[in-house]
Structure 1
């Protein structure tokens, strides 16, 4: 096995999926209502912000291990977030599905289950916990798996954020004609961050104005937001900047630039 961080995460994820299949109670139906993600984002006049609950990451180490996910998410909602992302990967990001459930119980916003999904059982578990949107990462899946998981999620009445970070992945993603594409400015193999990734990909592929492009990773300032907005992003996903903010409301206000 090659030694990239993504490879190590996916290897560990296979063990997690095996355990989930042994423990998951499929009969425990999701009791949560559908909260639209795409429809609530497409008509916004200011930058849509997906605010992330994130305890740690492989690139930054521990960010805030003691965060109360429900309290953090309520703060995000009160400060004007348009959706909440919850990291549910435990080995590398110190998150759990219990975090997502806790958030679902207290906010009325769409919730993204942020994980490395490789099997339908993870989609079932995300829905049961209260997710409205799941993440599918092109770099982690071959074409067949990407298509089957994408279609499975929609059959479960969930929306999909399909994530890419280069031209080849974007071309693979567009075959599925997704309504939402996340452009990750962080290379999942090296974990280097470059906002130029959003600019480069959207200059070539961002002409469909009915599609929501989300710029993810590395967004810290209003200047960063203006840069990706100019490229064509209608939304941003912000984790570390908000997790470390002394004043979430102030930071959120600064990131809420007007959409052109």
Structure 2
């Protein structure tokens, strides 16, 4: 069993435990009735000043363990905003990444940037929760939907998110997954340079897949981005935005580190 399989099994069990509970009763109706407008996540990756960085708020990971012992999500969000982030990626998985869905509400009240709920989303309930808690976009990972009905299940969840006015970042790692993302009409595709089955990282994954991404689809390079030189390299291949987490979260000065990553001196 890979770590991805383990995480997905845990996520299914977690959903079964909470489904029907008081906190989730009527969640879909609440999500549909929300008067609050979303902040445009995809538009921030088009209209903002290049390079556009989605700065990630992450305490730990299965492959690296604890990343930031003095982790404070709101302080991180404010520093990223000061450093010029185009948007924020907020880890909400608790067991494996040290996140929490409460972070979305707290961060939304502190900064004006659009927020991506980064989690292993496999159910419409998680999308409803994301909307109610303050996310502007959700992540759908193609590798999280094995089997012949992969595209059908992904399309249903993407359509559900769009009905709630959420943007959807569809994550892929290889050609077959990219084909699925394009089949369901994804207009925002993240190429994860990290293989979620082995956790190996290779920036060449983005370079290999970028030419296959049609014009009009926003390409986001994810994982393994350590420097302004990496940003330049992946930008030259066609990436329009860059999701960066661990390399920033290990820095004492988040705002300064992000500024330098974006080419500042």
**1:13 alignment counterpart:** 11
What root-mean-square deviation, in Å, do the aligned CA atoms of Structure 1 and Structure 2 show? 1.6
Alignment partner of 1:22: what SS? coil
Determine the structure 2 residue equivalent to 1:213: 219
Matches within 5 A, 1:131-170: 131-141=135-145, 142-170=150-178
Q: Is 1:250 the counterpart of 2:256 in the alignment?
A: yes
Q: Is 1:51 the counterpart of 2:58 in the alignment?
A: no
Following TM superposition, by how much is the alpha carbon of 1:65 offset from its aligned partner in structure 2, in angstroms? 4.5
Is 1:127 the counterpart of 2:124? The answer is no
Query: Which structure 1 residue ranges, 5 or more long, are not aligned?
Result: none
Which of 24, 35, 38 aligns to 2:39? It is 35
Q: How many residues align?
A: 254
Aligned position for 1:92: 96
Match of 1:83 in 2: 87
Please, what TM-score do these two structures have when normalized by structure 2? 0.91
3-state SS, counterpart of residue 122 of structure 2: coil
CA contact (8 A) 1:31 1:128 kept: no
Q: Is the 8 A contact 1:119 1:149 kept in 2?
A: yes
- Tell me the distance in 2 between the aligned counterparts of 1:225 and 1:192: 19
Aligned match for 1:232, one of 233, 238, 244: 238
CA distance in 2, matches of 1:202, 1:224: 15
- Tell me the secondary structure at the aligned position of residue 77 of structure 1: helix
Structure 2 contact 59–67 (Cα < 8 Å) conserved: yes
Q: Judging changes above 3 Å, is the alpha-carbon distance between structure 1 residues 56 and 34 closer, same or farther for their aligned structure 2 residues?
A: same
Q: Which runs of 5+ in 2 are unaligned?
A: none
TM-superposed CA distance for 1:177, in Å, is 2.1
